[in-house]
Amino acid sequence: VFQEPMTALNPVKTIGEQVAEGIRWHTKASRAEAEERARKVLDRVGLPEAKFPLSRYPHELSGGQRQRVVIAIACALKPKLLIADEPTTALDVVLQAQILDLLRDLVAENRMGLLLISHDLAVVTEMADKITILRHGEVMEAGDTARTLSEQLHPYTRQLAQASMHVPARPRTHVAGSARPLLQVEGVTRDYPGRRSSLFRRAAPFRAVDDVSLSIEPGQSVALVGRSGCGKSTLARMILALDKSTSGTIRFCDETITGSSEAELKPVRRDMQVVFQDPYGSFDPRQKVEKLVAEPLHVLAKKPANAERRELV
């Protein structure tokens, strides 16, 4: 089970095909039999047929649902050993708890061994019977989890424990209401058309964002918090004008983004940048780091010379 489910799944194959693939390869089962077993294992990991048919594609699922598909693929053949490499890093705390409970239950049901790779000591304490602490490829300390983490005999173990409990000191520098809003989101709603049930019928539209309003002032940090699938990323995409809102207005630097053309958005987009959840999916794997970092410089009206560009990079 890998850390980032979207890169572990094939984007052009349905979830049913991907779970059934391993069953067909290793057991020589027929397509119908493999699909039936795939349905059962997806049901077991919390993706029931009624809500998540086998015909769904990975992009139609949230991060937590995709991670469940990856776990279903890994557990479809009831392996003796399950290696989970940072399986909950990209998930919110509610989903993290659900995925860890699921892994624990599957290990108990099938008498599997679980090798859990993690930097999160809270997760390790909850899940593991034994712990091995690595640094620079060498074992620093190993033993029973509770004893090792409570005694902290090695300085590196102590360092990890202190880092996991660290609370940053945050000086209050921003005074609300001191400037005009940088970003204003007013009554934004986003509806997606329902899935087609027949040639002439669609299911009711799905409302992903419902009447959201917020504002951000210069120098202010605003947190958008909620569990996976609650509409955080959809709202971010609308602010970036990568997705159109069904209703409501978004203003950035006194410019209205909603309903603007691509030409009108170009100067606005220079002042609005995004960091995505999965860095590997953000990069072109065929380009070197220098070219990737220099890419935004191409939109500047005056292109920097090669030496200046390298210095900027």
Looking at the fold, whether 61 and 105 belong to one and the same domain comes out as yes
**In total, how many domains does the chain have?**
3
Detail the DSSP E strand segments found in the chain: 81-85, 113-117, 130-135, 138-144, 183-192, 206-216, 247-252, 255-256
The model's pTM:
0.69
Q: What pLDDT is stored for residue 178 in this prediction?
A: 59
Residue 54: Cβ within 10 Å count: 17
Condensed to tens digits (0 to 9), the pLDDT of residues 116-162 reads 999 888 889 989 999 999 999 999 999 999 999 899 999 999 998 88
Structural Rg of the chain based on CA atoms: 24
CATH number of the domain within which 95 lies: 3.40.50.300
Identify the domain containing residue 41 by its residue range.
5-128
Residue 41 lies in a domain: yes
Domain termination residue (choose one: 128, 149, 172): 128
Same-domain check for residues 245 and 294: no
Which amino acid belongs to residue 293? V
Residue type, 232: K
Taking the C-alpha atoms of residue 299 and residue 68, their distance in angstroms, rounded to an integer, is 40
- pLDDT tens digit sequence for 256-265: 888 888 888 8
